[in-house]
Amino acid sequence: MSNKFVREEISFLKGARGRWNELKYAIGVIFQFMKGFRTLHFVGPCVTVFGSARFGEDHPYYIKAREISARLAEMGFTIMTGGGPGIMEAANRGAKDVNGYSVGCNIVLPHEQKHNPYMDKFVNIDYFFVRKELLRKYSFAFVIMPGGFGTLDEFFETLTLIQTKKISQFPIVIMGMEYHKNIHEHVDLMISEGTISPEDQDLLLFTDNIDEAATHIAKYADTNKIIKLQEPKPSWILGEKKAI
């Protein structure tokens, strides 16, 4: 693999290495975070849309992601995604359909993913865990569309952070009822088995209805005055300017 960050991560995950190599890796992670902070500091408030990179523009899930993102952009949210194709492209595209703001945090992979053309601003990140933290850091709600292992990882890690109060109780909307029916049933099973609390199901809204999803997020945004949050001011010392 030609990408040095891919090679470095493979080496890191093999186990303990020399202390100098570990320090270099940690410094690299810091620089990745700083790159993200510099790019995304002025983009909020955002709603992050998670979903598969593998759906084409004629697929019903692509169309649904585009529709819900357009609605949320009209409400004043910046649409944030992983910056790639498929559902991510659909969400960014939906925002641009209504002249809304659209940003992405793209992952650099040895195959499959390149950034889509529907973003006002994007940053390329080399480590999955850095990318996930950036996607959560600037978002006040999350929409989960059908996807694969990566989408489920993003979904459940975000849900766990909300459940354990590591981040605020931001709304999570799961769209694609048929696709996610087994997850819905498994949530009920976990409640019945006592592995999660009954109130944990209140963290989630399963729906395919655009109006219901938008209303759910809008209700939270209005209650917590998210849209009217004071924007950070650019620092002339750092050469900053508003991103979008």
The pLDDT of residue 9: 79
How confident is residue 1, by pLDDT bands cut at 50, 70 and 90?
very low
CATH level 3 topology of 4-223: Rossmann fold (3.40.50)
Chain segment 18-67, per-residue pLDDT in tens: 899 899 999 999 999 999 998 998 887 899 999 999 999 999 999 999 99
The pLDDT of residue 241: 65
Which comes out higher in pLDDT, residue 126 or 98?
98
What's the whole-model pTM score?
0.89
Say how far residue 117 (Cα) sits from the centre of its chain. 18
Q: Which span out of 12-21, 59-68, 122-131, 221-230 was modeled with the highest average pLDDT?
A: 59-68
